[in-house]
Amino acid sequence: MKFAVIVFPGSNCDADMYHAIKDELGEEVDYVWHTEDNLDRYDGILLPGGFSYGDYLRCGALARFSTIMEQVVKAAEEGKPVLGICNGFQILLEAGLLPGAMRRNEQLSFICRNVKLKVENSQTPFTNLYTTGEVLSIPIAHGEGNYYCDDQTLAELKKENRILFTYHEENPNGSLENIAGIMNARGNVLGMMPHPERAVDALLGSEDGLKLFQSIVKSWRESHVVTA
């Protein structure tokens, strides 16, 4: 499986993502600059964390108009797995690939530490190697991770089991219903504020994030099995 790590001006977690895919997962991966206009050669698309375009206007608001985003939308429409982490999640929200919006953390300060996440749905391309109810240790690093959506959207997310991760025991940023990660209706786009790419090796303090990337590969390979 071949991944693209999209790099915007201000991205700062692209190297972490690249390391997770190449060195820990053992899959092919390229950095792809935001001005590129073709992602056809890639099987999975990754939008990393950082401060794209300095987070001017709103987080992700300018990156959403980068040339590459037309191709990210196209990849999502084709059913390819698309994962946005932290600033990547914010960009997916701004692009309309996921519902809702991000507000500033409730305490109006930047947070950078490990948190506990609960897996709410293990029957997805992103979580199939976890078990529902499993608790993970994953770092967060954001100033605007306070997820919000209207009542109708929240009801749809719950009904369709599209809330994949919630903060467990404590809510670090005021996010609605403790939401830490959501999926689109089709099931191939995931946005999450915590950083699984920073939790792929015990030397980093946790390897709980590695199963997320392994789940993507497992799902992709199962869907691309060639039968005689």
The secondary element (H helix, E strand) that includes residue 202 is none
pLDDT of residue 228: 44
Residue 226 has pLDDT above 80, yes or no: no
pTM of the model: 0.95
Q: Kindly list the catalytic residues.
A: 86, 195, 197
Closest C-alpha among 117, 30, 81 to residue 217: 81
- Output the DSSP codes for 16-60: HHHHIIIIII--EEEEEETT----TT-SEEEE--B-GGGG-SSTT
Query: How do 189-192 and 146-148 pair as beta strands?
Result: unpaired
- Tell me how crowded residue 57 is: count the other CB atoms within 10 A of its CB: 11
- C-alpha torsion sign, points 73, 6, 1, 89: negative
Q: What is the pLDDT of residues 79-129, one digit of tens each?
A: 999 999 999 999 999 999 999 999 999 999 999 999 999 999 999 999 999
Average of per-residue pLDDT across 187-199: 98
What average pLDDT does range 54-64 have in this prediction?
A: 86
Q: Which CATH superfamily groups domain 2-223? A: Class I glutamine amidotransferase (GATase) domain (3.40.50.880)
Summarize the confidence of residues 182-209 as an average pLDDT.
Answer: 96
pLDDT above 90: percentage of residues in the chain: 91
Take residue 45 and report the two structure tokens written for it: 């698309």
Kindly list the domain boundaries of the chain, sorted by start residue.
2-223
Residue 171 has phi, psi (to 5 degrees) of -110, 110
